[in-house]
Amino acid sequence: MYELIREAIIAMKLLPGAAISEKEICEALGTSRTPLREAIIQLASESLVVVRPSGGTFVNLIVVHEVLDGQVTRDTLEKRLVQLAARRFTPAATSQFEISLFQQKMAAEKRDIDEFFALDNSFHRLICESSGFPSAWRTIHSATGQLDRIRRYALPKGDHFLDSLKEHTEIFHHLRNRDEDAAVAAFQAHIDSLFHEVDLISQLDPDMVSAATHISITDIR
Strand partners of residue 63: 210
Q: Looking at the predicted structure, is the pLDDT value of residue 171 above 70?
A: yes
The domain tally of the chain equals 2
Percent composition of the chain: helix, strand, coil (DSSP 3-state, to 5) = 70, 5, 25
The CATH number given to whatever domain includes residue 78 is 1.20.120.530
Q: For residue 84, what pLDDT is reported?
A: 98
Q: CATH number of the domain at 6, please.
A: 1.10.10.10
Q: What is the pLDDT of residues 12-55, one digit of tens each?
A: 899 999 999 888 888 887 888 888 889 999 999 999 999 988 77
Pick the closest to residue 88 from 180, 170, 221 (CA basis): 180
Strand, helix or coil at 210?
strand
Which among 193, 211, 192, 212 has a CA at the least distance from the CA of 202? 212
In the predicted model, what is the mean pLDDT of residues 162-174? 96
Res 94: pLDDT = 97
Rounded to an integer, the average pLDDT of 170-194 is: 95
Let me know if residue 132 belongs to a domain: yes
DSSP helix/strand/coil, 11? coil
Domain region containing 135 = 64-205
* Distance of alpha carbon 141 from alpha carbon 135, whole angstroms: 10
Q: Is the dihedral of CA 147, 149, 152, 154 positive or negative?
A: negative
Is residue 192 a part of any domain in this protein?
A: yes
